Amino acid sequence: MTNLKTEDSDWAAMACNKSNLSAARYSRIAELVEQVINLKPKPDYVLFPELSIPLPWIDTVANYLAQSGISLIAGTEYRHYENDELLSEACLVLTDNRLGFPSAVRIWQPKLEPAVGEDKELTAKFGKKWAIEVKENSKGIPVYTHKPKSLEIDNPKPVYIHNDVYFGVMVCSELQNSKARVNFQGELDALMVLSWNQDLETFASLVESAALDIHAYTILVNNRKYGDSRVRSPAKESYERDLARVRGGDNDFVIAATLHVDDLRAFQSRAKRWPQEGDKFKPVPEGFRLAKGRRRLPPK
């Protein structure tokens, strides 16, 4: 996780399509990338908060990380369209060696709708409106009713399978959608949430709830101005539930945590929910159905 501060003035600039591309800001992000690359052991993924990386810099950041075999999951600044429309996205640059040599695939996942306060500010101050509209179908699955032609992704909330890790991505206020969270149940090893959020108490409860009702590791990366970035586990023991949690500080930095994916899957692969002495995790929720590809035998 990166603990990176993005200023309110940067937000206002990106809303006007005049991003802050100063040398000082670039240097801060570059220093964080260097910290990530120098971590021992080398991480598989690095997460940046919502709206933290200007679009013109994403290639440089992603390519530099990819050279070290590190995948990027980052919240990028607003992308502007005609008719005063805009949206924000999570950019995923996932590295692997499937082709026999190092390569990467890039995916843009849009934020489905702005947060209430964000929507108000964008409309009242800047005359902007969100570039996509989404409604739920009869099965409760979101589908696009309006989107830019250049937006290629069809599934608004996909499950990514990368290097045998199953994960989903949400952007900030999307975590409040309980139906979207439940749709991930049994499908994920980890839920990654890219955030710019000052309502820390509400989101602390949402992260803790998501870890249990999805029964997956839940990672929230927030703007350092507000903090409370954390990695939450559905662990049985309370002292093992926060694998990492940070708030405050005057400097940008990175912090690493290890997700025990195989242990989680083996636990979830039991035929019954009955707890046993020595369990590492809380029992799975009622109605939990494990995705076939995540099943591990023998179960634990």
pLDDT tens-digit map of 255-297:
999 999 999 999 999 989 898 888 999 999 999 999 999 999 8
Helix (H) or strand (E) holding 46: strand 45-53
pLDDT attached to residue 43: 97
CB-CB neighbours of 159 under 10 Å: 16
Report pLDDT for 140.
Answer: 67
Domain 2-111+148-294 falls under CATH 3.60.110.10: yes
Mean pLDDT value of segment 229-251: 94
Angle separating helix axes 8-15 and 116-126, nearest 10 degrees:
60
pLDDT in tens, 135-154: 877 766 777 888 887 777 67
Residue with the two structure tokens 């992260």: 207
Residue 281 DSSP one-character state = B
DSSP string for residues in 192-220: EEEE----HHHHHHHHHHHIIIIISEEEE
The pLDDT tens digits of the residues spanning 218-230 come to 999 999 999 999 9
Burial class of residue 151 in the structure, from the number of CB atoms within 10 Å of its CB (0-12 exposed, 13-18 middle, 19+ buried): middle
- In this prediction, residue 168 has a pLDDT band, given cuts at 50, 70 and 90, of very high
Given phi > 0 = left and psi -120 to 50 = alpha, else beta, which region is 93? beta
Indicate the range of 25-29, 40-44, 138-142, 176-180 predicted with least confidence.
Answer: 138-142
The DSSP string of 96-112 is: E-TTSS-EEEEEEEE-S
Among 25-39, 136-150, 228-242, whose mean pLDDT is lowest? 136-150
pTM equals 0.93
Phi, psi of 266 (to 5 degrees): -65, -40
* pLDDT, position 137: 76
Average pLDDT, the chain: 93
pLDDT for res 299: 86
